[in-house]
């Protein structure tokens, strides 16, 4: 019996109920610290040339991923040799921590609450905590749009993709995915500092997310009527705009969300003070409003519950959930 599937289901439910426990240091923060402290020595070990930085980035990525998977593998191995229930508890707890459904909702709803209160500065600060773009000059619609986009994109990166990796290989494969995803978020920028050093991490993240992003987009389309949104709009815009992004994956869920909400997302944005020209996703049928943050969270929840249902169904058909 594949106990990690049962642990995944239980961890998913715990995540929906509790979200990330603030009293505990999150393992993804440990991976982030490993990246922050490891970057400098790896850079110093290679020449300050394009090829040198590319090589440093490759070995750095391998190092971070190896540590991030070896540690949970070792701890799970020890736990299983000590006591089955300790092993199962660790499987469940790490599945719970790797998923980020409620945390994504909680952080985006801080933006919603600030906009509803009419506090634009507070809303800008709240959205700056969950997006990479510059937020200081965003108006109310821009803040709401940024929040909607990050929930849409992270429906895949933060929930569906790690859920699929957990289903295939338990927390060890889940941490493998999260290590690559965290590397991409920290060093995968196309700026002077990370253009070469972060390239391998960014490309590996694209590869790992290629199938999950497309599954996530289709799940959001299928979940649209469950969330009281437009399935015809979601399907039409997903088909038309799912490639409207420099990333091969990011537009998959954003396109489904834009169509379901009947709004236009993406477009030009500032990062580190520099304007980046980006295509739009969806049609401007109406302006984006702060209520769309709530609608997007409803769509995200419906989509990820469909994802878990899909995983459980496949596992049952394969006999994995048979007693």
Predicted pLDDT at 253: 96
Domain count across the chain: 1
C-alpha–C-alpha distance, residues 129 and 41, integer Å:
28
DSSP result, 214-270:
HHHHHHHHHHTGGGTS-HHHHHHHHHHHTT-SSSSSHHHHHHHHHHHHT--EE--EE
Please give the share of the chain, as a percent, with pLDDT higher than 70.
Answer: 98
Residues 158-176 pLDDT 10s: 999 999 999 999 999 999 9
Position 275 pLDDT exceeds 90: no
C-alpha–C-alpha distance, residues 163 and 309, integer Å:
11
Predicted pLDDT at 323: 43
**Domain hosting residue 259, numbered range:** 3-317
Q: Is residue 205 part of a domain?
A: yes
Say if residues 253 and 213 touch (Cβ distance below 8 Å). Answer: yes
Residues 22-33 pLDDT 10s: 767 788 999 999
Position 281 pLDDT exceeds 50: yes
Q: Is residue 323 part of a domain?
A: no
Position 71 pLDDT exceeds 70: yes
Position 93 pLDDT exceeds 60: yes
Q: Is residue 322 part of a domain?
A: no
C-alpha–C-alpha distance, residues 223 and 84, integer Å:
37
Task: Please give the average per-residue pLDDT across 284-305, as a whole number.
Answer: 96
Please state the separation of Cα 263 from the chain's center in Å. Answer: 22
Task: Please give the average per-residue pLDDT across 149-156, as a whole number.
Answer: 95
Q: Is residue 258 part of a domain?
A: yes
Q: Is residue 154 part of a domain?
A: yes
Beta carbons within 8 Å of 214's beta carbon, 6+ residues apart: 249, 252
């Amino acid at each position: 019996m594949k106990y990690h599937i049962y642990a995944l289901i239980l961890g998913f439910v715990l995540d929906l109920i509790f979200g990330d426990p603030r009293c505990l240091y999150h393992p993804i923060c440990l991976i982030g610290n490993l990246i922050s402290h490891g970057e400098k020595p790896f850079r110093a070990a290679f020449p300050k040339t394009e090829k040198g930085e590319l090589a440093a980035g490759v070995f750095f990525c391998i190092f971070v991923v190896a540590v991030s998977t070896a540690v949970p593998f070792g701890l799970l191995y020890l736990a299983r040799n000590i006591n089955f229930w300790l092993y199962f508890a660790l499987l469940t707890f790490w599945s719970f921590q790797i998923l980020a459904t409620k945390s994504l909702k909680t952080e985006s709803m801080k933006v919603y609450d600030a906009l509803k209160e009419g506090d634009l500065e507070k809303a800008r600060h709240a959205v700056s905590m969950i997006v990479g773009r510059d937020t200081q000059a965003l108006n109310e619609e821009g803040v709401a749009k940024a929040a909607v986009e990050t929930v849409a994109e992270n429906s895949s990166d933060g929930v569906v993709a790690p859920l699929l990796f957990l289903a295939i290989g338990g927390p060890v494969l889940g941490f493998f995915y999260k290590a690559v995803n965290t590397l991409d978020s920290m060093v995968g920028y196309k700026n002077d500092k990370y253009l070469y050093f972060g390239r391998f991490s960014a490309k590996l993240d694209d590869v790992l997310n290629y199938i999950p992003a497309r599954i996530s987009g289709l799940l959001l389309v299928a979940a649209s009527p469950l969330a009281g949104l437009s399935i015809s709009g979601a399907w039409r815009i997903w088909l038309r705009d799912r490639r409207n992004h420099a990333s091969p994956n990011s537009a998959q869920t954003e396109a489904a969300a834009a169509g379901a909400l009947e709004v236009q997302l993406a477009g030009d944005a500032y990062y580190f003070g520099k304007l980046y020209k980006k295509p739009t996703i969806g049609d401007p049928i109406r302006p984006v409003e702060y209520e769309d943050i709530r609608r997007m969270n409803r769509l995200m929840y419906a989509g990820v519950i469909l994802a878990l249902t899909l995983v459980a169904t496949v596992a049952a058909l394969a006999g994995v959930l048979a007693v």
